[in-house]
Structure 1
Amino acid sequence: MKNKWIFIISIIFFGTIMRSTFTTLPVVANDIANSLHIPLDQLGLLTSIPLVAFALVSPFVSKITDKFSIEKTLAFALVAVLLGSFVRIFNAPSLMLGTALIGVGIAFINVLLPAAIFEYAPDKIGPYTGIYSTLLMIMTSAFQIIAVPVANKVNWQGLVLLVTVVVLLSLVTWLLNIKINVTVAPSQPQAHEHKPVTINPWTNKYAWMLLIIAGLQSAIFYSLIAWMSVIAQRTGVSGSQSGLLVGLLSMVGIPFGMIIPNFISNSSFKTRRNAMIFACVLWILGLAMMNNHHISFVLWLVISSVLGAVGSIMFIYVITSYATRTKNPQESAALSGMAQSGGYLIACLIPWLYGLIFGMTQNWYAQNIIFILMLVVMIVLIYFFEREKTIFD
């Protein structure tokens, strides 16, 4: 790599836009609904459309990348996100179309960023993964915090344009990285030619294990993000306090963003196995503590901290495994595409089912018991997934 700093800056921008591009607007959903004269409930699509795109597009990313390169494909993905972000300002159809374009572009970035890190810095997978995973969490929260003040000061379209400018900076930075560090990949031309024929994660049992782990982790975490506020208020917590709990659920994982990738990439498989199983046990304890109709705000702070920390740790474990458990960028992209496709398909459905059962029973006990059983399955899968060899050996 000729200039590592331009690559690091690119990673920082990727982390900045990977979630904030579609998680910011739901915060000002009321403003959007009033401005475009559409029902508020339709704006739930602003979150679900990208998740569906992740599930549908991810399996094809590796094959498309084989025809071009990681660098060019990521550039095209950023163009899609840029166009999608900009067109959202015009009307309701363009808002949905733009959100879909963002989902497609981010799906490519989700899959290819671990592979790009593997290609550019195979000896720095942990630190570089830590950079973008930490920025992802920080900037998701930061844009949600500034969303209402910016929309009040200007309007929600001004908020969209602010996000769009950040995406443009990300594209410019990545194009500079391609121009400066373009000589990174030529040493592996033969790998690009015949690796795609032999890499088929859909027939690999360890890849399937990671897919299920990724799916269950996302399903539980997104369900908690969607329903914790409602559940907390049912136990006597005020609306403002419940909002603080959801914010804490997202923010508490930030310190782990720089720690966990290094830990995972530098630890033995037995150490990783034990640590992740212990994290799942903590998750079980947190969910068990939720199954109570009389929870004080102080106890809710503990529960939210535990669930948020473990959810972030498991997410980082999954995305770091795409690189640490493979031997080259092509294997990493293939594994990432498969795991994210199935994982986000599960993540799309479970929060909705959680709410459906909630509406039928008016409590959350059955859902949390199901989540505990899902975590038992995760523990078993992690035990067999972690081994000395890489996935495709």
Structure 2
Amino acid sequence: MNTKRQGINFTFEVFLLAANLRLAIIGIPPIVTKIQSYFHLTTAQTGVLTTIPLLCFGFLSATTAPIIRKLGTKRTIEYALLMLAIANLLRTYVNWGMFLGTIFVGAGITMLNVSLPALIVERHPEQSTKLNGVYTASINLLSAIVGGIAVPVANAIGWQFTVQLFSIPALIAFLGTLMLPHQATRPRKRTATDHQEVTGKAAATPIWKRGHVWLLAIFMGLQSLIFYTIVAWLPSVLTSHGLSATTAGLLFSIFQIIGAPFAYLVPRATTKASNLKLLMISLLIGYLSGIGILIMFNATWLLILACIIVGITTASIFTLSLSMITTISTTPQEAGSVGGIVQSIGYLIASVGPTMFGVIESTLGNWSQTLIILITISIINILVGFVLIKIVQKNHFVY
């Protein structure tokens, strides 16, 4: 009974932490013209504000695991939340504060990105499937809400106060983290055979030398590159089909919110290898059909359908990527290290996407040919996923 009660409380804390994983990033693009005008930023400088968090994810993810080992997962999360709260206040006053604050935002979210999967494995490994779904669904849901209300809120109370409001979820999550018990719940029991197998694997091969970790990093990187490229350019693609900026913004919100329930359900489909293969085929169909519609059709209802399909696909594959971190990790400490390496490499790959596809579109002169290249990358992403599934089965991690 007690374990169940703690599980419910912990689930709510996971939700609070997830509220901060994209909020301070997603909330900026809708009001970026106001920020650009206030600080007199060039287009290049404005683009840097979008790129900084991704670079932080790439360069700092691997350094979070040593911090977790030294401070503990709970304390690391507390420091990350405080950093995030202060950073959002810093971003609103002066030009240099906006850039420095954005760096700290990227650093704080990076620490949370790596620490949260480790916290889940550490506290409730038996519920990792459900909890992974909770926090990825929360990310999608809250991102869509913030993306939809940022402009009207900024118009009503000013963009500075709107950005400062982003500190509130960080402070609430910080208070929630303080109330977590210092002693982790008892880890899931393993058989003697499992223990010997896991210990032997861990001792035999350092994490950074394991092929499946690098493969997961590539898988994470390609799906992140596709997602952030779509986030950066979907409104432009939609307006190129003749939609108004307002309608494109509405469809962009649909793209973000539609994936929330699927982000929750996908981890539950990863408990069997046969389900994983079916999921991977479904993701391939989603990429091909969703992006394909954006290439070939102008009808509004079809563009809405494309946003729905792409939203479901990107949310599902992101959830799968995060779930695989805990799947291939044998201990909570290892989950932090694996997550650090996977996300560091993955987000470095992703960071080139928005800029690269902007250059490609400028060179080719249209979005149709540019999106064909994105489809090619998505096919490669799924092929890497199939190889990863085969390796996971061979090593008997879960399946």
Q: CA deviation at 1:41?
A: 4.8
- Pair 1:133 & 2:136 matched: yes
Q: Note the 1:172-251 alignment, pairs <5 A.
A: 172-177=175-180, 181-184=181-184, 200-251=206-257
Match of 1:192 in 2: none
* 1:233-278 alpha-carbon deviations (Å, 9 max, x no partner): 22222322222222221111012122112222xx212321221232
Q: Note the 1:47-66 alignment, pairs <5 A.
A: 47-66=50-69
Match of 1:383 among 361, 382, 386: 386
Query: Does structure 1 retain, via aligned residues, the 8 Å contact 2:118–2:333?
Result: yes
* 1:272-327 alpha-carbon deviations (Å, 9 max, x no partner): 122123212321232233333x5211111111111111111100100111112322
Query: Does structure 1 retain, via aligned residues, the 8 Å contact 2:148–2:253?
Result: no
Taking structure 1 as reference, are residues 239 and 30 closer, same or farther at Cα in structure 2, changes over 3 Å only? Answer: closer
Residues in 1 aligned to 2:276 and 2:336: alpha-carbon distance in whole angstroms: 22
Match of 1:287 in 2: 291
Residues in 1 aligned to 2:273 and 2:68: alpha-carbon distance in whole angstroms: 30
Residues in 1 aligned to 2:335 and 2:277: alpha-carbon distance in whole angstroms: 20
Query: Does structure 1 retain, via aligned residues, the 8 Å contact 2:327–2:398?
Result: no
Residues in 1 aligned to 2:204 and 2:18: alpha-carbon distance in whole angstroms: 31
Match of 2:148 among 130, 145, 152: 145
Q: CA deviation at 1:392?
A: 11
Residues in 1 aligned to 2:244 and 2:35: alpha-carbon distance in whole angstroms: 26
Match of 2:301 among 298, 302, 306: 298
Q: Note the 1:348-387 alignment, pairs <5 A.
A: 348-386=351-389, 387=392
Taking structure 1 as reference, are residues 239 and 35 closer, same or farther at Cα in structure 2, changes over 3 Å only? Answer: closer
Residues in 2 aligned to 1:186 and 1:291: alpha-carbon distance in whole angstroms: 51
Match of 1:191 in 2: none
| Length, aligned pairs only | 382
Residues in 2 aligned to 1:147 and 1:170: alpha-carbon distance in whole angstroms: 21
Taking structure 1 as reference, are residues 186 and 117 closer, same or farther at Cα in structure 2, changes over 3 Å only? Answer: closer
Residues in 1 aligned to 2:397 and 2:46: alpha-carbon distance in whole angstroms: 40
Query: Does structure 2 retain, via aligned residues, the 8 Å contact 1:14–1:170?
Result: yes
Please report the TM-score for the alignment, with normalisation by the length of structure 1: 0.90
Structure 2: 5+ residue stretches without partners: 189-200
What SS is found at the alignment partner of 1:124? helix
Taking structure 1 as reference, are residues 392 and 336 closer, same or farther at Cα in structure 2, changes over 3 Å only? Answer: farther
Match of 2:326 among 319, 323, 344: 323
Query: Does structure 2 retain, via aligned residues, the 8 Å contact 1:80–1:102?
Result: yes
Query: Does structure 2 retain, via aligned residues, the 8 Å contact 1:256–1:313?
Result: yes
Match of 1:19 in 2: 22
Query: Does structure 2 retain, via aligned residues, the 8 Å contact 1:126–1:263?
Result: no
What SS is found at the alignment partner of 2:260? coil
Residues in 1 aligned to 2:352 and 2:203: alpha-carbon distance in whole angstroms: 32
Q: Which amino acid aligns with 1:62?
A: A
What SS is found at the alignment partner of 1:182? coil
Match of 1:273 in 2: 277
Match of 1:166 in 2: 169
Q: Which amino acid aligns with 2:349?
A: I
* 1:89-135 alpha-carbon deviations (Å, 9 max, x no partner): 22111111111111001101101111110111111011111221111
Taking structure 1 as reference, are residues 370 and 200 closer, same or farther at Cα in structure 2, changes over 3 Å only? Answer: farther
- Pair 1:336 & 2:339 matched: yes
* 1:186-218 alpha-carbon deviations (Å, 9 max, x no partner): 989xxxxxx998773321111111111111111
Taking structure 1 as reference, are residues 95 and 248 closer, same or farther at Cα in structure 2, changes over 3 Å only? Answer: same
Q: CA deviation at 1:185?
A: 6.5
Query: Does structure 1 retain, via aligned residues, the 8 Å contact 2:65–2:337?
Result: yes
What SS is found at the alignment partner of 1:18? coil
**Cα-Cα RMSD:** 2.4
Structure 1: 5+ residue stretches without partners: 189-194
- Pair 1:313 & 2:316 matched: yes
What SS is found at the alignment partner of 1:184? coil
Taking structure 1 as reference, are residues 67 and 263 closer, same or farther at Cα in structure 2, changes over 3 Å only? Answer: same
Taking structure 1 as reference, are residues 253 and 228 closer, same or farther at Cα in structure 2, changes over 3 Å only? Answer: same
Q: CA deviation at 1:227?
A: 1.5
Match of 2:100 among 86, 97, 100: 97
Percentage identity across aligned positions?
A: 26
What SS is found at the alignment partner of 2:125? coil
Q: CA deviation at 1:341?
A: 0.8
Q: CA deviation at 1:330?
A: 1.7
